[in-house]
């Protein structure tokens, strides 16, 4: 019997020391956790993304979502931009560069500065009793787009898989142990600045904030919600706030993100717990020409 811990996130390079491993598969693999962001393994579906550090007792998964920008929206072009482009080109090819520049600049919208993309935050997984790990290995399978971390503690094998599904619009973290009830874990959501995290009942967390620069250049307002279920283990929300799973057989967590006027984006047809339970990684593809279809 395998005890498992799932974490699903609906939200979001240079790889040193990479190698190819496996028979007929493309795999980047490493024998130690990432120390820098550039060494973490990337997963994503185009809207959501994450950088997986492959930690043991303390795992960090940095989250990205495409709409978290500080600063106002990019202005729409003026109605006369098409005519201005024509006049500017004519002046340019006539050698009147000053007029070409003047005509075009007058038709362009004002420059927005500063405007910057920001991280959604970090998912932290803190595993109890991980002082003396052995047999460490982490990898990114380029066929299945799954980042996997393996290690053993006191003879118990642990496997953590991270993948992002475009079908369910979730980022999934599955932690399995080969001994029942071996998972004792604390889960947190945070980011460097400008956020607030609150408990949601006994099975989740909510993190809210607004992308900005020290109270200025206010941008996207966002909300991330993490929901969890366990079976047959127990779970409780702590004052941090965080939640902890104890002697878990199965733990499922789901985080949804929203922005500005839309409460959730994109709309989902299933609840977070249901989405987490049913989300599955894509199986290894037999046809090499379909490797990009993830």
Give CA–CA dist 223/68, Å, rounded: 10
Q: Which residue has the higher pLDDT, 240 or 184?
A: 184
In this structure, are 102 and 128 located in the same domain? Answer: no
| CATH number of the CATH domain containing 175 | 2.70.98.50
Same-domain pairing of 120 and 232: yes
Q: How confident is the model at residue 252 (pLDDT cuts 50, 70, 90)?
A: low
Domain range for 79 is 75-107
Last residue of a domain, one of 60, 87, 107: 107
Total domains in the fold of the chain: 2
Which residues, including other chains, have CB under 8 Å from residue 264's CB and lie 6 or more apart? Answer: 256, 257, 258
On whether both 266 and 176 belong to a single domain, the answer is yes
Whether residue 198 is found in the same domain as residue 283 = yes
86, pLDDT greater than 90: yes
60: how many CB neighbours lie within 10 A of its CB? Answer: 17
0.85 exceeded by pTM: no
Beta bridge partners of 223: 208, 258
Share of the chain residues as helix, strand and coil, in percent rounded to the nearest 5:
15, 45, 45
Residues 81 and 170 in one domain: no
Helix (H, G, I), strand (E, B) or coil at 89: helix
Q: Count the neighbouring beta carbons within 10 Å of the beta carbon of residue 293.
A: 10
8 and 146 share one domain: yes
User: For residue range 18-71, what is the model confidence (pLDDT) as tens digits?
Assistant: 444 444 579 999 999 999 999 999 999 888 899 999 999 999 999 999 989 998
SS3 sequence, 211-249? CCECCECCCCEEEEEEEEEEECCEEEEECCCEEEEEEEC
Same domain? 234 vs 261: yes
pLDDT score for 241: 67
Looking at the structure, tell me whether residues 164 and 22 fall in a common domain.
yes
Taking the C-alpha atoms of residue 250 and residue 258, their distance in angstroms, rounded to an integer, is 27
What is the spatial distance between Cα 78 and Cα 190, in angstroms, rounded to a whole number? Answer: 40
Whether residue 30 sits in one domain with residue 148: yes
| Last-in-domain residue among 61, 90, 107 | 107
Report in angstroms the alpha-carbon separations of 37 from 51, 69, 120, 130, 285. 7, 20, 15, 22, 29
Of 107, 128, 160, which marks where a domain is finished? 107
**Better-predicted residue by pLDDT, 55 or 176:** 55
Same domain, 241 and 140: yes
In contact, 140 and 121? CB cutoff 8 Å: no
Clarify whether residues 65 and 81 are in a common domain: no
> What integer is the mean pLDDT of 174-188?
85
Residues 6+ positions from 53 with CB-CB distance below 8 Å: 33, 34, 39, 40, 59, 60, 61, 62
Contacts of 146 (CB under 8 A, 6+ apart): 43, 140, 161, 162, 163, 281
pLDDT mean over 201-217 = 86
Phi, psi of 175 (to 5 degrees): -110, 120
Asked if 274 and 224 sit in the same domain, the reply is: yes
Rounded mean pLDDT, 110-123: 86
Question: Which residue would you say has higher pLDDT here, 257 or 210?
Answer: 210
Q: What is the pLDDT of residue 274?
A: 59
Question: Are 154 and 102 contacting, i.e. CB atoms less than 8 angstroms apart?
Answer: no
């Amino acid at each position: 019997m395998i005890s498992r811990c799932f974490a699903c996130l609906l939200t979001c390079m240079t790889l040193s020391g990479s190698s190819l491993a496996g028979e007929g598969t493309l795999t980047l693999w490493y024998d130690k956790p990432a120390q820098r962001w550039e060494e973490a393994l990337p997963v994503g579906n185009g809207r959501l993304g994450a950088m997986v550090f492959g930690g043991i007792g303390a795992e960090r998964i940095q989250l990205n979502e495409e709409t978290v920008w500080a600063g106002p929206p990019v202005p729409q072009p003026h109605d006369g931009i098409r005519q201005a482009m024509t006049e500017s080109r004519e002046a340019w090819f006539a050698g009147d560069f000053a007029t070409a520049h003047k005509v075009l600049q007058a038709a362009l919208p004002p420059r927005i500065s500063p405007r910057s993309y920001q991280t959604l935050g970090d998912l932290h997984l803190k595993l109890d009793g991980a002082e003396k790990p052995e047999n460490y290995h982490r990898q990114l399978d380029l066929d299945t787009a799954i980042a996997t971390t393996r290690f053993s503690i006191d003879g118990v094998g642990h496997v953590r898989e991270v993948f992002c599904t475009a079908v369910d619009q979730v980022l999934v973290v599955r932690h399995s142990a080969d001994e029942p009830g071996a998972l004792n874990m604390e889960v947190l959501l945070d980011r460097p600045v400008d956020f607030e995290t609150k408990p949601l009942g006994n099975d989740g967390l909510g993190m809210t904030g607004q992308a900005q620069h020290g109270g200025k250049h206010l941008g996207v307002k966002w909300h991330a919600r993490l929901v969890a279920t366990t079976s047959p283990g127990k779970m409780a929300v702590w004052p941090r706030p965080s939640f902890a799973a104890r002697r878990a057989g199965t733990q499922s967590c789901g985080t949804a993100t929203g922005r500005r006027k839309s409460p959730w984006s994109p709309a989902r047809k299933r609840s977070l717990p249901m989405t987490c339970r049913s989300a599955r990684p894509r199986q290894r593809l037999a046809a090499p020409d379909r490797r990009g279809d993830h």
